[in-house]
Amino acid sequence: MEPFHDIYRKEEPPFLLRRRKKARPPSVEVPSAPKAEAGATETAHGHRTNSPDFYRSRHRRSRRSTGDENRNSRRLWILLSVVFAIYAAFLAGTFLKGFRKPAAAAPAGAPSETPTAAPDTAPEAAVEAARLIKERIAAWSRIPDAILEAQTLFERGHPEQAEERLIRALESCPDALRLRMRLAQLHIDRKDATRAAELLMEVLEANPDDYSARLLLGAAYESQTNHAAALAVANWILETDPGSSSAHQMAANAYLNTDRKALAIQHLRRVTQMDRDNIIAQNKLGVAYADLGEYVKAIQIFNEVLARNSTDSITYYNLAACYARQGMADQSAEVLSRAIALFGDKFVASWIKQPEFDSIRSNRIFAALTENLEKSAREMATPGPAPVIKP
């Protein structure tokens, strides 16, 4: 019987084996052939063949390893399923615990809230809220009337009653800022700037951006002659509103009263630029220039004012005094003569007694003008003849 031959084994022909042996490098050692396994035989060409028992044993080993892998996979899936089931049970328990939490867990002393009480308390709370808002609306609606009544009482000469009316209104609406501002204005008019400043500080604590309250506070400090505080308020206003004419005027007054006329001029110029008809600011600007020795600018400003308003007595006085301070007696006398024609001898006679005209009293023209004014004043003081009563 011929030896077993594996027909499925691909054997290489002899010529290919010889060719491979020639192509192999001489330095490479040919690995020794592995030991023949049990049941293996060699062919005539030197190749090893396996017996049928070898393949049966290999098949059994393959089936055994496949069975082991399947068992391991099943164990892994069972373990993962158990873990997932435990996690799902934990989530379900947590959800049910929160859902079934008793309502009696409220802190001790707190009012109990039961589902049956909600329909009863909700309408009561709504009714109470409606009643409260109606009362507040009625109180707020009476604020304008209270302010108007107080203004009327003050104009009729009853400032105490006006103050009492505003205080009663504040008792009903303690947070009404308009009432506090009106009461502060009343205190300023009554020369009680300290109380006015207190009220305005309360208003600004509630609303620091209230522009009117800032202006009133500055006016209160001006009434107290607290120029440093008034200047601080003016600068505060100008930080947010650089174009505020009232704030520039307030700052200019503070600088003028503290003898810082150069700083006052900057604010007065802004005021006159924004309001060309503000004669008071223009006169203050001219006087500030004159005090700094800039008489040409001062005279120009006074003449511009008289060109627009030829009946302003303060401007006539300032222009005549500006000429007198420069020793220009003729020009000063000419301005005073124009003022006499408009306002009368008695009105102008009080001007020439001021120290601004001391430097030109020896001037012939000014002396003649002064003599005429004094003569006119004596004639007006001399009583005339008694009237004759006829039967």
Q: Flag whether pLDDT at 351 surpasses 60.
A: yes
Please state, in angstroms and rounded to a whole number, the distance separating the CA atoms of residues 215 and 385: 58
Query: Is the pLDDT score of 57 beyond 70?
Result: no
Residue 387 has pLDDT above 50, yes or no: no
The number of beta carbons lying within 10 Å of the beta carbon of residue 56 is: 10
- At residue 360, the pLDDT reads 92
pLDDT band at 176 (very low <50, low <70, confident <90, very high): confident
Q: What is the pLDDT of residues 289-346, one digit of tens each?
A: 999 999 999 999 999 999 999 999 999 999 999 999 999 999 999 999 999 999 988 8
Of 355, 352, 360, 354, nearest in space to 328 by CA:
360
- Residue 46 is classified by DSSP as S
At position 70, the amino acid (one-letter code) is N
Burial of 290-300, coded b for 16+ CB within 10 Å and e otherwise, reads bbeeebeebbe
Domains of the chain: 1-20+41-59 (no CATH), 141-224 (1.25.40.10), 226-295 (1.25.40.10), 311-378 (no CATH)
Q: What's the pLDDT at 346?
A: 87
Contact (CB, 8 A) for 142 and 169: yes
Tens digits of per-residue pLDDT, 115-153? Answer: 455 555 668 888 888 888 888 888 888 888 888 988 898
Cβ 360 vs Cβ 329: under 8 Å: yes
pLDDT at position 328: 94
Stretch 151-180: mean pLDDT: 88
108, pLDDT greater than 70: no
Residue 265 pLDDT exceeds 90: yes
Residues 6+ apart with CB under 8 A from 183: 163, 166, 167, 170, 199
Residue 113: both structure tokens together = 């809230």
DSSP 9: S
d(CA 147, CA 155): 12
Neighbours of 233 (CB within 10 A): 25
pLDDT in tens, 12-42: 666 565 655 555 555 545 455 445 444 555 5
Q: Which two tokens stand for residue 196?
A: 């006015």
Report the alpha-carbon distance of residue 189 to residue 224 in Å, rounded: 12
d(CA 285, CA 272): 9
Write down the pTM of the prediction. Answer: 0.60
**What is the C-alpha to C-alpha distance for residues 16 and 38, in angstroms, rounded to an integer?**
28
Q: Per-residue pLDDT tens for 214-252?
A: 999 999 999 999 999 999 999 999 999 999 999 999 999
Q: What does the pLDDT average to over 52-80?
A: 68
